Amino acid sequence: MLNPNRFFNPNPEVRNIASELYKEIKDLPLICPHGHVDPRLFAYNKPFPDPSALLIIPDHYVFRMFYSQGIPLEQCGIIPLDGSSYEKDPRRIWKLFADNFYLFAGTPSGIWITAELEQVFGVKEKLDAQNGMDIYDHIRNKLVQEDFLPRPLFETFGIEILATTDFAADTLEYHKIIQKSGWKGKIIPSFRPDDVTNLLHPAWRKNIDTLSEITNISITSMPRFIKALEKQRTLFKSMGAVATDHGIEMPFIHALSDMEADAIFERALKGTITRNDARLFTGHMMMEMARMSCDDGLVMQIHPGCLRNHNEIIFEKFGPDKGADIPLKTEFTRNLKEILNTYGNNPSFTLVVFTLDETTYSRELAPLAGHYPAMRIGPAWWFHDSLQGIIRQRERVIETAGVYNLVGFIDDTRAFPSIPVRHDLARRIDSNFLAGLVAGHIIDMEDAHRMNRALAYDLSKQVYCKDVT
């Protein structure tokens, strides 16, 4: 069902070149240096329960669309926090999904799910209201087979390395189980300290206590907080981590004096901080994180510019990550000045910047990455990790920063079985993008092969995994 030339330009010349370029990179291993797959999958290696639990309930891209069309989240199997009723029958949830799958026409979710159904599960028809339950049964039958367990799938997918995203106070017990199991799959943690660097986090005080407990450092002051974080970074690194990650509402970054930082931290311990304290503190912690990265070599990633939980009714009823996070205008030129002036000329520092504000591609990010040795531009992120979104990024960034100041493709997904189709889509888009440049006599095939390999594999390998053996 999937056309071998899908996503290529219909112009025969471009299509042929794209196909030739794609052939050379399509089977390269997958580097996944940032994402949200649950490490328990590989620690326990248990079968996935059912098609709905696998493909619908954990995917906010999917139920978000249904909600926008008036379908209550309860009917999608999303569990209300207040204990009220919701749909528990995976078959009824799947029925809803199949009936409404046409809503995804032209969206990346539509592309990914269609490809996943065929390439992972061998489904030969387009999902619709008629064939929905047959396809459900077909997938359910696959899921009980040995080669559909998480570890065999990881191997089938050709994943070379997969980073999870983990809380600063995590003990990494599932990573330890995986490493002790003798299984060869490379699953590594990433250090994401948002829940302790954001003083407004509802559980901040509790998170500090957890961090105290697991580090054996009683966090009673700013210096001890820093020490605890450094200790955890060491743990993460010893478990294979190559990067940290920071989700911040705005990329405001500015070092406070020790006295200022200490004072805010003490107010936070007493529960008397203001909004502005929290903003300053997060900005300061970004400088601290950059400083630590210069020391321990962890790549620093920032994911800014999202107003989380925009819909408070949904947040209160169902919690976070329910498809109601909405991007904000974002500014980098002024906001990154201090961090780049302080650490951006340092050869042992790497800062990967993501954005949800596409206007910053050509205006701010490409000029910055085209100058500072430390800075790299992350791939088109989240809403923009789509066919047109990736093309827009390539067109706006490469002319100023070249290809070699990017980091290639990153899937950034919590939907484990979608990983290969996401990489495949990106590889097809880049092959086609470069084929357009070749057909337009802007680059030649030698350049195109090199650039294509860089985007598909070499760059993420070099930036994130240069020390991984």
Query: From its phi and psi, is residue 415 left (phi > 0), alpha (psi between -120 and 50) or beta?
Result: beta
Cβ neighbours of residue 164 closer than 8 Å, sequence gap 6 or more: 35, 36, 37, 38, 39, 175, 187, 188, 189, 190
Cβ atoms 76, 66 nearer than 8 A: yes
Q: Taking Cα atoms as reference points, which of 141, 160, 123 lies closest to residue 47?
A: 141
Minimum CB–partner distance for residue 338 and a copy of itself (Å): 10
Cβ neighbours of residue 343 closer than 8 Å, sequence gap 6 or more: 290, 291, 293, 294, 349, 351, 374
Give the dihedral sign, CA 50/41/390/449: negative
Minimum CB–partner distance for residue 162 and a copy of itself (Å): 26
Cβ neighbours of residue 90 closer than 8 Å, sequence gap 6 or more: 49, 50, 51, 52, 53, 77, 136
Strands 326-327 and 306-307: antiparallel
Length of the chain in terms of residues written: 469
Q: Between 208 and 421, whose beta carbon lies closer to a copy of itself?
A: 421
Q: Between 287 and 403, whose beta carbon lies closer to a copy of itself?
A: 403
Minimum CB–partner distance for residue 211 and a copy of itself (Å): 32
Q: How far apart are CA 266 and CA 183, in angstroms?
A: 45
Q: Between 145 and 348, whose beta carbon lies closer to a copy of itself?
A: 348
Q: Taking Cα atoms as reference points, which of 156, 116, 157 lies closest to residue 139?
A: 116
The runs of H, that is alpha helices, within 144-203 are: 150-156, 173-180, 194-197
User: Nearest 10 degrees: CA dihedral of 43, 44, 45, 47?
Assistant: -150
Q: How far apart are CA 262 and CA 313, in angstroms?
A: 36
Minimum CB–partner distance for residue 60 and a copy of itself (Å): 9
Q: Between 210 and 393, whose beta carbon lies closer to a copy of itself?
A: 393
Minimum CB–partner distance for residue 170 and a copy of itself (Å): 29
Q: Between 146 and 312, whose beta carbon lies closer to a copy of itself?
A: 312
Q: Taking Cα atoms as reference points, which of 415, 430, 286 lies closest to residue 353?
A: 286
DSSP 55-93: HTTT-HHHHHHHHHTT--GGGGTPPPTT-------HHHH
CB atoms closer than 10 angstroms to residue 271: 9
Minimum CB–partner distance for residue 101 and a copy of itself (Å): 10
Q: Between 107 and 181, whose beta carbon lies closer to a copy of itself?
A: 107
Q: Between 50 and 430, whose beta carbon lies closer to a copy of itself?
A: 430
Minimum CB–partner distance for residue 308 and a copy of itself (Å): 11
Strands 159-163 and 30-32: parallel
Q: How far apart are CA 354 and CA 304, in angstroms?
A: 7
Q: Between 68 and 218, whose beta carbon lies closer to a copy of itself?
A: 68
Q: Strand pairing partners for 304?
A: 248
Q: Between 69 and 84, whose beta carbon lies closer to a copy of itself?
A: 69
Minimum CB–partner distance for residue 407 and a copy of itself (Å): 14
Minimum CB–partner distance for residue 248 and a copy of itself (Å): 16
Q: How far apart are CA 205 and CA 201, in angstroms?
A: 9
Minimum CB–partner distance for residue 287 and a copy of itself (Å): 16
Minimum CB–partner distance for residue 438 and a copy of itself (Å): 9
CB atoms closer than 10 angstroms to residue 387: 18
Q: Between 168 and 375, whose beta carbon lies closer to a copy of itself?
A: 375
User: DSSP 3-state assignment of 192?
Assistant: strand
Q: Between 67 and 191, whose beta carbon lies closer to a copy of itself?
A: 67
Q: Between 219 and 448, whose beta carbon lies closer to a copy of itself?
A: 448
CB atoms closer than 10 angstroms to residue 335: 21
Minimum CB–partner distance for residue 451 and a copy of itself (Å): 6
